[in-house]
Structure 1
Amino acid sequence: MKAAVLTEFGKPLIIEELPDPQPGAGELVVDIVAAPVLAYAADVYGGQRQYPMLLPLAVGCGGIGRVRAVGPDATRLAPGDWVFCDPTVRARDQAFAPDIMLQGLIAPSPAALKLQAHFHHGTFAEQQLLPLENATPLGNIDPADAGRWCALGTSLVPYGGLLAAELKAGDTVLISGATGHFGSAAVAVALAMGAACVVAPGRNAAVLADLTRRFGPRVVTVPLSGDEAADTEAMRRAAPSPIAIVLDLLPPLPDATPVRAAALAVRPHGTVVLMGGLRVDLSLPYAHLMRHCITVRGHYMYLREAPARLAALVHAGLLSLTDLEITDFPLAQANEAVAHAAAHGGPFRYTIIRP
C-alpha cells in the first residue's frame, strides 16, 4: 500500500510503499477513503508540539473507509462495510485506567508507545490496521460524502466532554473557545444533544455572526473584552437561564484569563469541563467552588461508545454534516494538504486526503 510517511520531525512527508496490513484476532483492515488533516498537523510533524511517536510513521488521525478484511473473531463487521476509524486506541489489559494513544498522531506515555508499535500507522495511507472496537459502522453512505463524515472526529472531542458533564435536554451550555475549530463543532453538538441555549463567547466578530446565522436564536454570542470580571458578568447576563455547563476548548494560550472568566460564569451545582490546550496553571477560588458546589473536571477524548452514539445523532438528522467547507487532496499531495490545513483552519472547514 502507498502511505504518507513521517521519517523525521521537521522533514516533509514521503510517499512510500509499505506492506499491506493483515488482521489478526481482534483486528481489521480498512481501505481508507477519506482522512482529515488537523490544522495543527504542520506543528506536530515539524516538531514544534513535541508529540511522542515512533518514527517512521504513516501519519493521519482518524478517517472514513470500507472494511477490507476482518480477524477471525469478528461477528458483525464484514468486508465492504462503511466505518469511521476511531483513532483513540485503548489498551485492553486495564479496565479502569487504560493506556491511550491517538493512532497516527501521539503516544503520550511509554505504555502508549507499546500500543503504537503494533497499531502503528495512521490514515494517510491506502489501508489501516486497527482494533475491531475502533471501527464504527456507518451504514450505507455516499462515497462523495466520506469527507463530510470525517467531521465526526472533530465533533467527538466536545461530545465526550458534554457526555462527561451529563448534559440534559434544556440545559444552558457555555462553550469557551466557540469561535475555534473544535469549539464551533461543540456548539453544534450541544444543540444536537438538546441544549436549550448555547452561550458562545469570542473575539472574532465574523465567526460569532456565522454561528448565529447557522443556529439561530438558540445560540447567544458574547464579544469578549479581555477584562475577566466584565467578561464573566457579560456571559452570565447573556444566558437566558443559569449556565449549567462550561466546556473549555480554547487552544494553547499563555494566559489563563479567558478560561477562568468562563469557568466562573457557571451556576451553583454546575460543571466545568477542561478539554483545551492551556499551557499555564489555572487558579480558581476555593471558597467559590466549595460554597456553590461546582464540579471541575478534566476530560480527555471520549468513551468507547461515543462514536456510535454520535453517528446516530447524524443519522437522526439532529447533527448536520451538510454546511461544511471541504477541500480534497490526493495522497500524493499530502504535504500540500498539511500546508492547506494550517492556512485554512477554522470553524466548519476541513482539509481531506483521499488515499
Structure 2
Amino acid sequence: MTHSIPTTMKAWRLSRLGGELTFDTVPVPEVRPGSILLKVEASTLMSYMKPYVEGKLPPYHAPDGAFTPGGNCVGVIRAVGRDVWQLRPGQRVLLSSLFRSAENVPDPAQLLIGVTSFGPDSEKIQADWPNGSLAEYTLLPASAVVPADGFDDMAATQLSAAARFVVPYGGLVRGRLAAGETLIVNGATGAYGSAAVLMALAMGAGRVVAAGRNASKLDTLTALGGKAVVPIVLSGNIQQDAKALREAAGGGAEIAFDMIGGAQEPNSTLAALNALRREGRLVLMGSLMVDLPVPYLQLMLNSIEIIGNFMHKTDAFRNVLALVRAGRLDLRAIMPKVFPLSELISAMDAAGAAGSLEQVVMQP
C-alpha cells in the first residue's frame, strides 16, 4: 500500500566512518515484508556526530559500504510492506534507533540503526538495515517505530525531544525507581543527565539530587524542576562529595543514577555510590573511561546493588509519550535548534556545542 511517494530523494551518504560524506540524490527505497517507508519530518543529531563521521570513535561499527547515517527521528509512514498489520500510511511515528531482533532466542541481537552494530550477529542485522534517518525517506523494520497518536498538532522538531528522555527512562525503570524515592543523578548537567532529573520527577521521585560541576547549569535545572530538585556542585573529592550528597538526600538516597559522560576518573561515581542508603541501587548508564574500583565489603554489608544498563526496552517510547500525554513530562524543556537537512556540516558543529537542554534537529 503506497501514498504519494516520489522515485528519488535527497540523502546524506557516508562511504565509511572517516570516509567521504556527500549529499546525494538517490532512489527512494521500496517497501519489503516487515518494513515501513517513513517520510522523515525531523531527525535528531547526536552530540558526537562529527567525531563519529570522522571515524574518531573506535568502538563504533558502520555497515560495509556506503550508508545513510542518523538515528532517532519523527516521521510519517508513507507505505507499509507485507506482514505489517497495524501500522498504516499517514500515521505519525517515532523511530527508536535501538532495534532488537524479534527472534525467539535467549539473547536477541541488537543494533543502533544508522549508528553502530555490536558484534557478528548484530552485523547481520546491520547488513539488512544499513540506513538511518538523515534523508527525506528511510526504510525501517516495522518494529523499530512507535506510533505517536495524539501528537499530530505538535511540531515534529519538538516531538523529537522524546528521544532525549527515553534513554534515562530505560535506566530509571531498570533501577526500579518507585514513587517518593530519593534519587541522585550524577552528571546532571549533561544532556541525558538533565533529562534524567526531569524524567525522575515525571515518574514520581520524591526528591532528586542533581550533581554536577557547573553551578549555572544546575541552577537552570533547579528552576525547571522546582523544589523537589536539590543541586549539589561537586568538588572532585570523594569523601567531601559523598557527605554533601548524603545530606542533600536526607540521610542517603535509594537510587544513584550515573550518567557521567567520558569521565577519566571515577570520583563522582564513587561519591554517589557512597551516598546510598542500605539496600540502595547504583545504575550505570554513563561512559566512564576507567575501571570503577568498588569496595567489596561495603557493598556486601549494606546490600548495595550495582546495575549496568544499556538504553531501554521496546516499550520505553510508548511510556514516555504516555507521560507527556498525562502532563507529567513537558517536552518543551528541551529546545530544538533546527537546521535544514542540507546543512549537516554546520549542524554537526552545533550539536557538539549544544547546551544540556538543547537538541540539534535536522529537517528535510
1:30 aligns with 2:38: yes
Is residue 282 of structure 1 aligned with residue 329 of structure 2?
no
Match of 2:361 in 1: 352
Q: CA RMSD in A?
A: 1.4
Deviations 1:276-298 (A, max 9, x none): 11111101101111111111011
| Equivalent-residue separation in structure 1 for 2:345 and 2:71 (angstroms) | 15
- Shifted more, 228-237 versus 249-258: the winner is 249-258
TM-score, with normalisation over the residues of structure 2? 0.94
Query: Which residue does the alignment assign to 1:3?
Result: 11
* Structure 1 consecutive aligned stretches of length 4 or more whose deviation exceeds 6 Å: none
Give the drift of 1:329: 1.1
Shift of 1:169: 0.6
TM-superposed CA distance for 1:122, in Å, is 0.5
* Correspondent of 1:210 among 204, 220, 241: 220
Is 1:177 matched with 2:148?
A: no
Alpha-carbon distance between aligned partners in 2 of 1:310 and 1:96, rounded to the nearest angstrom? 27
Q: Is the 8 A contact 1:197 1:240 kept in 2?
A: no
Give the alignment partner of residue 166 of structure 2, picking from 156, 162, 169: 156
**Counterpart Cα distance in 2 of 1:261 and 1:77:** 47
1:45 aligns with 2:53: yes
List gaps (5 residues or longer) in structure 2: 1-8
Distance of 2:346 and 2:153 partners within structure 1: 23
2 CA distance for matches of 1:143 and 1:43? 35
| Structure 2 Cα separation of the partners of residues 302 and 41 of structure 1 | 21
1:186 is matched with 196
CA distance in 2, matches of 1:112, 1:14: 26
Does the Cα contact within 8 Å between 2:16 and 2:62 map onto a contact in 1? no
8 Å CA contact retained: 2:62, 2:117 = yes
Query: Deviation per CA, 1:104-145, whole angstroms, max 9, x where unpaired?
Result: 111121221111111111110111111212111111434662
Q: 1:274 to 1:68 in 2, by over 3 A?
A: same
Amino acid at match of 1:182: Y
Q: 1:229 aligns with which of 227, 230, 239?
A: 239
1:254 to 1:322, Cα distance in 2 relative to 1, 3 A: same
SS of residue in 2 equivalent to 1:269:
strand
Amino acid across the alignment from 2:320? L
3-state SS of the aligned residue for 1:244?
Answer: strand
Distance in 2, Cα, partners of 1:244 & 1:82: 38
Aligned match of 1:17: 25
Whole-Å Cα distance in 1 between the matches of residues 229 and 73 of structure 2? 29
1 CA distance for matches of 2:170 and 2:105? 18
Q: Deviations over 1:30-65 (max 9, x none)?
A: 110000111111111111112111141211111000
- Write the distance in 2 (CA, Å) between the matches of 1:252 and 1:324: 22
Q: Write the distance in 2 (CA, Å) between the matches of 1:347 and 1:336.
A: 19
- Following TM superposition, by how much is the alpha carbon of 1:93 offset from its aligned partner in structure 2, in angstroms? 2.5
Residues 169 and 193 in structure 1, CA contact (< 8 A), matched pair in contact too? yes
The Cα shift of 1:190 comes to 0.5
Contact 1:12 1:335 in 2 (8 A): no
Comparing 138-147 and 237-246, the one that deviates more: 138-147
User: Is the 8 Å Cα contact of residues 161 and 336 (structure 2) preserved in structure 1?
Assistant: no
SS at match of 1:58: coil
**What displacement does 1:350 show?**
0.8
Asked if the contact 1:13–1:334 (Cα under 8 Å) also holds between the matched residues in 2, the reply is no
Q: Report the CA distance between 1:266 and its aligned residue.
A: 1.4
- Does structure 1 residue 80 correspond to structure 2 residue 90? yes
2 CA distance for matches of 1:266 and 1:13?
Answer: 47
* 1:125-144 correspondence runs (5 A): 125-142=135-152
Letter in 1 for 2:175: A
Give the distance between the partners of 1:248 and 1:96, measured in 2 at CA. Answer: 28
Tell me which of 331, 337, 346 is aligned to 1:327. 337
CA distance in 2, matches of 1:132, 1:57: 20
CA distance in 1, matches of 2:170, 2:120: 25
SS of the aligned residue for 2:320 comes to helix
Question: CA 1:147–1:117 in structure 2 vs 1: closer, same or farther (change >3 Å)?
Answer: same
Match of 1:116, SS? helix
Give the letter aligned to residue 194 of structure 1: G
How many angstroms apart in 2 are the aligned matches of 1:273 and 1:15?
40
Is the Cα–Cα contact under 8 Å of residues 58 and 121 in structure 1 kept in the other structure? Answer: yes
Instruction: Report how many aligned residue pairs link the two structures.
Output: 354
Structure 1 distance, partners of 2:151, 2:302, is: 47
User: How does the TM-score come out when normalised to structure 1?
Assistant: 0.96
Q: Residue 13 of structure 1 contacts residue 335 of structure 1 at CA under 8 Å; is this kept in 2?
A: no
Per mean C-alpha deviation after superposition, the further-off stretch among 17-26 and 190-199 is: 17-26
Give distance in 1, aligned partners of 2:284 and 2:61: 22
What letter corresponds to residue 355 of structure 2 in structure 1?
G
